[in-house]
């Protein structure tokens, strides 16, 4: 990018880091954020801001946009629309990363660095963090970035044998001009962000780009849904193609492919119809429930593709502490456990959280996504009562076929759930909705849950 004029739109974490990386690479960089706070952040970092709608795109060679800014659906941001009319190429920080990752210094390495990219609707954060943890346990130097942790252009330059683990959302994948991971992971697919992708097909198409555009050496694909099955067959040349590792949940392995299955609390690896390894996941505290067993299976498959022994992987699985806001055990008060799964922002994630526990006092609600709540029905037998929060709590509660109490606030919900609990119950925050009606993020919502539990402990 040396000597080229580049416009960076959006001064959040990834946009700010991208602009700074471009400056360091010798580009002439202009920036903009629709919010005053973002522009102030850029100016404090020594970057120049210019309104793109007032001549800011003059002479620009490329526009780099942040993931949260719509470039096509439901409608393009005005600056992006103008850039496309002017024929200015679009990219994002993920595309820049893949285009600049390999350097001349690699010619002297004994082992070329690798990139593992993880996508899917649910579980991609836990799977990415777990892969990173397993690599460290196995003695492989690793960095974690993307939709989790650091911005990709904030990573340290790769050294001999390094592994980069990236969590990539559909927003990041749909626009990146370059996608070249060594190993690509597809966890699962369920409806999410449908307005941004103009429907379910567009959402899947964004995820599929990681494989169709990237052509990874190995693809680890969850095949519980038809889309995953389709993706696996598209990537395979024949039934014994070891470039594809299928991840199966809740079923016995079928066929003679390379498969990793999670069933009844056990992880099993099979190749050519023969089981070659098995791990009991039932007593691993950092990976509770079938959904986390699926995450463990995907991470296991990646490590096996890197020739790490099953016993080493098992050691890493047992020492994994889990991620905040993902089936996070907060503590226990008088025999009642409190679990924070604020990251369960859609119905499918909430369904998996509800399926992981019994005797649940369920805190749910928030900014509801498309599709309704009927898909939660199979797990409602685990729920003793729901405590609904959010500005539209009454409307949310009316859709649930379970005893409900409209609480609106987190404080009221936590106090009511605990007051009505018996020893052995689980107070579970699994909202099945976005947080933005009351909170800035799912993290803030989860932290409020933790604070309210802490207040009960202190009484």
Q: Domain boundaries in the chain? A: 5-91, 96-318, 328-457
DSSP state, 434? Answer: B
Question: Does 124 show up as a binding residue in the annotation?
Answer: yes
Question: Does 120 show up as a binding residue in the annotation?
Answer: yes
Question: Does 249 show up as a binding residue in the annotation?
Answer: no
Contact 113, 159 (CB under 8 A): yes
Per-residue pLDDT of the chain in tens (459 residues, 90 and over written 9): 999 999 999 999 899 999 999 999 999 999 999 999 999 999 999 999 999 999 889 899 999 999 999 999 999 999 999 999 999 999 999 999 999 999 999 999 999 999 999 999 999 999 999 999 999 999 999 999 999 878 999 999 999 999 999 999 999 999 999 999 999 999 999 888 889 999 999 999 999 999 998 899 999 999 999 999 999 999 988 878 899 999 999 988 888 899 999 999 999 999 988 999 999 999 998 999 899 999 999 999 999 999 999 999 999 999 998 889 998 999 999 999 999 999 999 998 999 999 999 999 999 999 998 788 999 999 999 999 999 999 999 999 999 999 999 999 999 999 999 999 999 999 999 999 999 999 999 999 999 999 999 999 886
Kindly give the pairing relationship between strand 114-119 and strand 163-167: parallel
Q: Which helix (H) or strand (E) holds 31?
A: strand 28-32
Q: 3: alpha, beta or left, given left = phi > 0 and alpha = psi -120 to 50? A: left
Question: Does 125 show up as a binding residue in the annotation?
Answer: yes
CA distance linking residue 200 with residue 346, whole number of Å: 14
Question: Does 75 show up as a binding residue in the annotation?
Answer: no
- What pLDDT score does 401 carry? 94
- What pLDDT score does 241 carry? 87
Phi and psi, residue 178, nearest 5°: -130, 130
Residue whose structure tokens are 């996070």: 328
Q: 289: alpha, beta or left, given left = phi > 0 and alpha = psi -120 to 50? A: left
Name the E strands within 227-379: 244-249, 259-263, 266-271, 274-280, 328-333, 336-340, 360-364
CA nearest to 306, candidates 132, 169, 107: 132
DSSP 76-131: --HHHHHHHHTT--EE-HHHHHHHHS--GGGGG-SS--EEEEEE-SSSHHHHHHHH
CA distance linking residue 365 with residue 407, whole number of Å: 10
Q: Which pTM does this prediction carry?
A: 0.88
Q: CATH for 328-457?
A: 3.90.190.20
Question: Does 121 show up as a binding residue in the annotation?
Answer: yes
Question: Does 123 show up as a binding residue in the annotation?
Answer: yes
**Tokens in use for 386?**
């729901």
| Assigned CATH topology for domain 5-91 | Rossmann fold (3.40.50)
CATH 3.40.1190.10 fits 96-318, yes or no: yes
What sign does the CA torsion over 428, 431, 436, 442 have? positive
pLDDT tens digits along 132-181: 999 999 999 999 999 987 899 999 999 999 999 999 999 999 999 999 99
């Amino acid at each position: 990018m040396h000597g080229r004029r580049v416009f960076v739109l959006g001064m959040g974490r990834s946009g700010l880091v991208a602009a700074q990386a471009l400056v360091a690479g010798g580009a002439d960089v202009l920036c903009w954020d629709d919010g005053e706070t973002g522009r102030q952040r850029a100016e404090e970092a020594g970057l120049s801001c210019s309104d793109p709608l007032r001549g800011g795109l003059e002479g620009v060679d490329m526009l780099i946009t942040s993931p949260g800014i719509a470039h096509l659906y439901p409608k393009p941001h005005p600056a992006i629309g103008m850039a496309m009319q002017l024929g200015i190429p679009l990219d994002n920080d993920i595309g820049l990363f893949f285009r600049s990752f390999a350097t001349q210094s690699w010619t002297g390495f004994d082992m070329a660095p690798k990139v593992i990219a993880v996508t899917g609707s649910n579980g991609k954060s836990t799977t990415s963090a777990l892969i990173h943890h397993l690599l460290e346990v196995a003695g492989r130097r690793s960095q974690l970035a993307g939709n989790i942790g650091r911005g990709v252009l904030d990573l340290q330059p790769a050294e001999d044998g390094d592994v980069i683990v990236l969590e990539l959302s559909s927003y990041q994948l749909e626009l990146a001009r370059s996608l070249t991971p060594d190993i690509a992971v597809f966890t699962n697919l369920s409806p999410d962000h449908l307005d941004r992708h103009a429907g379910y097909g567009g959402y899947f198409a964004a995820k599929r780009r990681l494989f169709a555009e990237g052509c990874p050496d190995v693809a680890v694909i969850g095949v519980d849904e038809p889309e995953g099955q389709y993706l696996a067959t598209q990537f395979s040349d024949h039934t014994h193609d070891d470039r594809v590792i299928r991840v199966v949940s809740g079923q016995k392995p079928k066929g003679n492919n390379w498969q990793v299955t999670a069933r009844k609390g056990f992880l099993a690896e099979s190749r050519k119809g023969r089981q070659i390894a098995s791990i009991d996941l039932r007593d691993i505290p950092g990976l509770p429930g079938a959904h986390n067993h699926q995450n463990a299976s995907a991470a296991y498959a990646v490590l096996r593709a890197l020739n790490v022994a099953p016993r080493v992987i098992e050691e890493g699985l047992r020492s994994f502490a889990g991620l905040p806001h993902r089936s996070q055990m907060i503590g226990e008060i008088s025999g009642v456990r409190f679990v924070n799964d604020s990251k369960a922002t859609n119905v499918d994630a909430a369904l998996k959280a509800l399926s992981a526990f019994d005797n649940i006092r369920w805190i749910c609600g928030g900014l509801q996504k498309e599709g309704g709540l009927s898909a939660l029905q199979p797990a409602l037998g685990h729920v003793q009562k729901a405590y609904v929060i959010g500005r539209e709590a009454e409307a949310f509660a009316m859709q649930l076929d379970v005893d409900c109490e409209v609480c609106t606030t987190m404080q009221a919900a936590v106090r009511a759930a605990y007051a009505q609990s018996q020893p052995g119950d689980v107070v579970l925050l699994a909202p099945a909705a976005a947080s933005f009606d009351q909170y800035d993020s799912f993290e803030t919502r989860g932290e409020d849950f933790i604070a309210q539990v802490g207040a009960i402990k202190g009484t």
